[in-house]
Amino acid sequence: MLRYITNIGQLALPRYSASGLPFDPIELLRNVWIEFEGGEVLRIGAEGEPTPQVASDDGCYDARGGLVTPGLIDCHTHPAFAGFRQNEFVLRCQGKGYLEIAACGGGILSSVRGVRSISLGDLTILVRERFERFLELGVTSLEAKSGYGLSLDDEIKSLTAIRDAAGDSFEVSPTLLGAHTVPPEQRGNADRYVDIVCREMIPAAVEAGLALSVDVFVEETAFSVSQARRVFAAGKDAGLKLRIHANQFSSSGAAGLAAEFGALTADHMDIASPDELRLLAEAGVTLVLLPGAVFFLGLEKYAPARAMIEAGCRIALSTDFNPGTSPTTSLPLMMTLGCNRLKLTPAEALWAVTVGAACAIGREDRIGRLAPGFQADVCVWDMPDVESLPYRYGDQVPVAVFKRGCLVAERGQLVTGAYSSR
């Protein structure tokens, strides 16, 4: 169990804000150390304070003058799928668009066929492998959605695979995304399918303790605002947190619905008006920005992050890991896109994958920061400073990852015995 991290060249301490993004989001300390106890942060040494004299085999890790950050948090992922969709990537290279591919039976429905045909055990193995890769890249907590089953049994199977793959070694916030799109057998009868989501899926997921949140995709190929309202009402009545895929391809009214219900998050938000941003800021909704999907789809319109920050919105960054539109587990790469395409500063990008992301899963009281009483979720990087994280794109692998004080990954490789699922 970790007791100290010493010889820290730069320590990044994200600041908490109940709303919006702090003017100066990261406090930086140089040449300091951290003390831990029982898997939590105990105290941080002051700059210049002598390093405790402890042996390296007594729970002491030498950062060798590198950068230390909180463990990263990925707050929007779709890991419960059976196969990737590289064939659609080829079609996009040939000029076909996302909506065109979906209309021809590709997209989400392609993944639905895979999930419906795979066993729970085999799906759990696949999800676990993906969780392990997240850990290797510095992600110590994440949100994970169902959404590729689109039937009661297959959505429960997906959520069960997420639970069993996580076990006790990885911190996962599970989300029911039964309202991802209308399944083939309900085509032309979306309202009837929404009935199934509200009356069958949500109660079953809650009774089994498999979901903390419910999500709905509002878009031309998915659900309307009125249908999403029904999902929100049912989810709220069941005690679930509310999330929504909003304004990815069009301004649909989903942002206003998120503000009206005080949703936990509104995700994507690639299109947003000043009035929508004002309402979302007033309602305290965290905006989860997914630049990887925009990049991978070859689109031009990225979320207006600077306008969001100026409007007082709280933002987070995520991979949107999924088999069709963002098949990456690299949250540091999203930091690069956040700076390069959303015009965030490196400090803002780091804040968005720590404190901002913790807010997006409702866990800002325990993770996302390195402060006394917070979990000992830590990344050590062979880099001199925060600016290097987004700058060294494609090469951002932590030299060490700790979860609750236990070493789980070193130099992009899982530590043997560090991960155990159910």
pLDDT of residue 55: 64
Residue 62 lies in a domain: yes
DSSP letter at 208?
T
Q: How far apart are CA 112 and CA 82, in angstroms?
A: 9
Q: How far apart are CA 123 and CA 121, in angstroms?
A: 5
Q: What is the DSSP annotation of 285-329?
A: -EEEE-HHHHHHTT-S----HHHHHHTT-EEEE---BBTTTB---
> Six-digit token pair at 218?
């509002």
User: Are 62 and 10 in a shared domain?
Assistant: yes
Residue 132 lies in a domain: yes
pLDDT of residue 101: 79
pLDDT of residue 95: 86
* Gyration radius (Cα) of the chain, Å: 21
CA atoms within 13 A on the CB side of 419: 24
* DSSP run (H or E) holding 133: helix 120-136
**Cβ within 8 Å of residue 418, ≥6 positions away:** 169, 406, 407, 408, 409
User: Are 223 and 331 in a shared domain?
Assistant: yes
Q: How far apart are CA 70 and CA 132, in angstroms?
A: 18
pLDDT of residue 390: 97
User: Are 198 and 97 in a shared domain?
Assistant: yes
Specify the number of domains making up the chain: 2
Phi and psi, residue 220, nearest 5°: -55, -40
User: Are 12 and 62 in a shared domain?
Assistant: yes
Between strands 378-381 and 406-410, the pairing is unpaired
pLDDT of residue 56: 61
Averages of pLDDT over runs of 10 residues in the chain (422 residues) are 95 94 94 96 92 76 97 98 91 82 79 96 97 96 98 98 89 97 95 98 98 96 96 98 96 95 98 97 98 94 97 98 96 98 98 98 97 97 97 94 95 87 68
Residue 341 lies in a domain: yes
**Cβ within 8 Å of residue 121, ≥6 positions away:** none
User: Are 41 and 180 in a shared domain?
Assistant: no
Q: CATH no. for residue 118?
A: 3.20.20.140
Conformation bin of residue 412: beta by default, left when phi > 0, alpha when psi is -120 to 50: left
**Cβ within 8 Å of residue 57, ≥6 positions away:** none
User: Are 218 and 348 in a shared domain?
Assistant: yes
Residue 165 lies in a domain: yes
Look at residues 171, 208, 109 and name the one whose alpha carbon lies nearest to residue 401: 171
Separation of CA 72 from chain center: 9
**8 Å CB contact between 361 and 47:** no
User: Are 116 and 198 in a shared domain?
Assistant: yes
User: Are 96 and 178 in a shared domain?
Assistant: yes
Phi and psi, residue 401, nearest 5°: -130, 130
Residue 283 lies in a domain: no
User: Are 99 and 126 in a shared domain?
Assistant: yes
User: Are 349 and 410 in a shared domain?
Assistant: no
Q: CATH no. for residue 58?
A: 2.30.40.10
Print the domain residue range for 35.
4-70+367-414
User: Are 323 and 339 in a shared domain?
Assistant: yes
Residue type, 32: V
User: Are 130 and 45 in a shared domain?
Assistant: no
Residue 58 lies in a domain: yes
